[in-house]
A and B are shown apart, each in its own frame.
Chain A
């Protein structure tokens, strides 16, 4: 039976390669390649944003955390949706109105473009690469678990890496968009189906379902059988630092999502700011529905499959596939596994295109060559080449780290950098007249360093392991953590803002203040915004 997942994986790969072939004939020219000619419809972009955003960390990760730590896992779900209000109210429309391909277009608008773009590009590459490595290691471990016997970890990582390079190099943003749309539709379908099956198991009675959640039986670390109310808070976030960590996580989500480069570039693919707005609403409907349904996925796995069984059959990340297996057998297991695989591919493709766009548009053209393409099409060519480099580096790092590496912190790091470096600088350049180049550069620099520095000394990387833990699963620094929280946002976000404000006050740049009116008018009215182009 183990070959059914393989067949479903291959079907998905065939569909996405078909999309890539179709898109490759429509991706000539920079606007077509980087922004899908700005012709994606609002609802399409909304679905694609959802597909870009809901990573395996959500589908497998959150279901797993809820299955093991109950209610505290569900708190993740809440933050992942509410974060879109920041995108909707503050970021999406001004970004679409003033930028062209990247977040740095907005930052560099009234500043000296070269230093600002160089820093913004560094920050974009940092966020995208860290996030990508986390996804690749997850993908490798997942595929190995699901297709073990056929595919090893290394082959799985190489396979995922090669596919994402193919989508991005040949199909550009258009192929990436449609891969994300197909994935989002599959993910929603699988989640709805799984939720219905969970409720059917409890005879469609919420009373019975929640009754079971309130009495989950499992063995604790000492082997004693315990019964816990999984709706009760505090199973994961325990005193003394738990509550603070929870708030810090919330800050990183609420302010980080609006600074994630691979989400921001999606708003350049629609014709105008109004469509960008509608696409955020579409995305919120899908993302919200999905995260509400993690109730069924996570608590369903806790009650129907049970933490003990999951622990001995692949661990937390297998909660959702094992639930599918328990409810409807091996074919449904294969279907859910294929969805998890599709989820990873769509996210890494989005990360790759945002990283390559930033390298090519911000760094190559604008920083190195002063904003001039030396020959037509250079920007796209450079992007294609950098997709190979980014993909190759991600494959290599994922293989070196191996399947047991502790990589969950990389996702926290990506959000922390986005919230502490990118977001303060985007917000200040849109709303603070006095803001200037030194402020932008120091804001990005301080936010980036503070996030990385605090994660380095956090319990994610600093802890004393027992000798039984070996290799890359061991913590990097074998000592008691200096910073008690896993999520640095509560400290690094204010530091990012302070860096930006101090840098600004230490220098004078009248031209930046003069050009503020232009940015204000453009961002709020859409005057002169980039138009969609013929495909």
Chain B
């Protein structure tokens, strides 16, 4: 086990290194727990939503082709409109994520600043 850790350090000699207790302290700190909770609150529902919305397309098209062939505007049917909507929904989720992620960055920066100043303070 010790051997494995040594190998890792040799690969990445110039990187930020800290003791196990430092990592544990950061991971258990309130600031980090808040960051993780904030991320989870956006990412989990967003992921579930897009997976459900996406797989609704092959399921509906595959198992209800008659219904999906219903013409909506002229010759354009439900199947095509639903497929087209996927693009805009994907872009929308990406846009919302970028907005939410600005908040993640802000929370992460506090943790980073604290960790790096603690390191220099030693």
Contacts and interface: CB of A to CB of B under 8 A. Distances in A.
Chains A and B form a bound pair: yes
Interface of A: 71, 74-75, 77-79, 81-82, 84-86, 88-90, 100, 108-109, 111-114, 207, 210-211, 213-214, 229, 231-234, 237, 242-244, 246-247, 249-250, 254, 274, 277-278, 280-281, 284-285, 288, 291-292, 365-366, 370-372, 510-511, 514-515, 517-518, 520-521, 524-528, 530
A528 B68 CA distance: 51
Given A285-B91, A525-B108, A511 B5 contact: yes
B47 A89 contact: yes
B82 to A, nearest CB: 9
Contacts of B12: 100
Contact of B4 (A113, A246, A288): A113
A288 B91 contact: yes
Contacts of A90: 43, 47
- Interface SS, A side: helix
Contacts of A278: 98
Interface in B77-93: 77, 79-80, 83-84, 86-87, 90-91, 93
A528 B16 CA distance: 5
Given A233-B61, A237-B61, 6 more contacts: A81-B87, A84-B90, A86-B47, A109-B8, A113-B11, A285-B91
Contacts of A521: 23, 26-27, 32, 111
7 contacts: A100-B11, A214-B75, A234-B61, A246-B62, A247-B59, A517-B20, A520-B36
A511 B61 contact: no
A371 B101 CA distance: 35
Interface of B: 1, 4-5, 7-8, 10-12, 15-18, 20, 23-24, 26-28, 32, 35-36, 39, 43, 46-47, 50-51, 54-55, 57-59, 61-63, 65, 68-69, 74-77, 79-80, 83-84, 86-87, 90-91, 93-95, 97-98, 101, 105, 108, 111-112, 115-116
A250 B24 contact: no
Nearest to B108: A525
- Summarize B's interface: helix, strand, loop or mixed: helix
Contact of A231 (B16, B80, B93): B80
B61 A82 contact: no
A528 B80 CA distance: 47
9 smallest beta-carbon distances between A and B, as pairs:
A243-B62, A528-B16, A517-B27, A214-B75, A518-B23, A246-B58, A371-B11, A525-B108, A210-B75
Contacts of B91: 284-285, 288
Contacts of B20: 514-515, 517-518
